[in-house]
Structure 1
Amino acid sequence: MALKGRAFIIMWHDITPEGDADYNQWHTRQHMPERLDHAGFRRSRRGVNRGLERQIYFTLYEGDELTSFVAEDYARSLNFPTEWTQSIAPHFRNFRRMACEVLETGGRGVGGALVSLRLRLRAGMGEGEGQLALAPALAAINAMPAVTAVHLAAARPDFSEIRTSETELRPPMSEPLFDLVIVAECIGLAEARAAQGAMVAAVEQAGFAQPLAQAYDVAYTLEKRDAQ
């Protein structure tokens, strides 16, 4: 299914062992519904892959526009976190959060798993040039039997790297930045993992060296109408 809106917030991270069980309850029962209660937020999903060595969690919040992520009501929740949020946030590790502008999106349904591929533009390469270079790779990924949807977006740090009371609760972000991200939705985690190597090869053939690729099971999805 095509993404809902023209922007999303995407993140990858780990949680300390002692905070893991509470994190899943908090994220499902409070945090996702809270976020989707804000104007401009449309749909969210949480992914997990406990087979990864790091960043076993993935989250995607789909929004109407990039400005949804700097709106007053959202900023208020970031600066006045709940007690449960205050207890969970210090357990985050290896955290990378980024607002992104959707460049291309398409597909049918919501996949049961996904592969995210974080890319850096080559020196001197513009964003438009990078998108054009990726066209054959995106077509190849979209044609894979396991794939149900493919999305391409560009990082927009000005809409997410803002200091708030909530960010102060988490350890500082030190994970590598990226310029573009591909999210390929798949029919299942086993299929996503099996296709991941071919996805990486297609992206590398397009001129993007060493993309950071990770596969996740989609553990929970919530839409705005369900959260209200």
Structure 2
Amino acid sequence: MIAVGTGLFTMWNDIPPAYGREFALMHTRDHVPEHMAYLGDDGIRWARRCIDGQGDMPRFFTFYGLTSLDVLTDEKHAKCKVTETAWFLKMRPHYRDRIAYHCSVLASAGGGTGGTVATLLIDFADDARQDAPRLAALVDDLTRLSPVVGAHLAAPEWNVPIRVGEALPAGREGNEAVGVVILEGFDRYELAACLEDVREQLVASGVAARVRSAGHYAQAYRLDYDEIAHLEHFRRDDALITERFDLK
């Protein structure tokens, strides 16, 4: 269940198969903790890393829960910078098909944390984003599908930078109406099997004018902010990581 704050950072990406194992190690053991840490304890409160995507979205999906999107533009956090290690900088050029949004959470329902996740990109129907009762009813209805234990609806905020002090995200033109649906489930294949019903429900509810794309994932890793202090041994320089994991 998404909890704690009102902001989400959502990112989908792919990576060439030749770099898949090293990317998994780098992203889990290095970059996710560094990205979580950079805003302090009132910034990013949790992260989830999802893998093995199936469908018409990139194979990897990562999302982070923020107390509020205000932390990206307020004075208190203005000097915060993500530590980009040598290992991350080595892997970053190999990212493919990256989609990244900072989003406001519009509605959320359910309980627990599912071991599998589905994501759908939609175009909001006219004025649907502002219809809070309709949005709340939709996510509640989605949790009544038997594989769905959590349903969440969010919208990108185009006036918020991807990181503190950086430029506003590109790609706004033609995407002003985009929305993000995240479903959590307890059985990946049952969740995948109900995605066609979800597509129909999103449109029938009047919330979505159309569904652009959808995918389902295994949830591989979850990290809470308060656990970062225990991960010092994860974060090593590139040479040590390469030797330790036999990455040549």
| C-alpha distance in 2 between matches for 1:96 and 1:52 | 15
For residues 1-228 of structure 1, the aligned pairs below 5 Å read: 1-38=1-38, 39=40, 40-52=43-55, 54-70=57-73, 71-72=77-78, 74=80, 76-77=81-82, 81-122=84-125, 124-125=126-127, 127-129=129-131, 131-161=132-162, 177=175, 179-207=178-206, 208-211=208-211, 212-228=213-229
SS at match of 1:49: strand
TM-score for both structures, normalised by structure 2: 0.78
Aligned residue pairs: how many?
A: 219
CA contact (8 A) 1:134 1:203 kept: no
Q: Percent identity?
A: 24
Amino acid in the other structure paired with 1:219 = A
| C-alpha distance in 2 between matches for 1:58 and 1:154 | 16
| C-alpha distance in 2 between matches for 1:194 and 1:73 | 46
| C-alpha distance in 1 between matches for 2:79 and 2:99 | 23
Amino acid in the other structure paired with 1:72 = A
Query: Residues 6 and 163 (structure 1 numbering): CA distance in 2 closer, same or farther, change over 3 Å?
Result: closer
Deviations 1:78-126 (A, max 9, x none): xx6221111111111111100001122232221001111212123x535
CA contact (8 A) 1:97 1:160 kept: no
Deviations 1:137-196 (A, max 9, x none): 32321111111111111211222356988x9xxxx8799735321211111211220121
Which is richer in helix? 1
| C-alpha distance in 1 between matches for 2:91 and 2:78 | 23
| C-alpha distance in 2 between matches for 1:173 and 1:27 | 24
Query: Residues 179 and 132 (structure 1 numbering): CA distance in 2 closer, same or farther, change over 3 Å?
Result: farther
**Structure of larger gyration radius:** 2
SS at match of 1:157: coil
| C-alpha distance in 1 between matches for 2:16 and 2:215 | 20
CA contact (8 A) 1:95 1:174 kept: no
CA contact (8 A) 1:95 1:173 kept: no
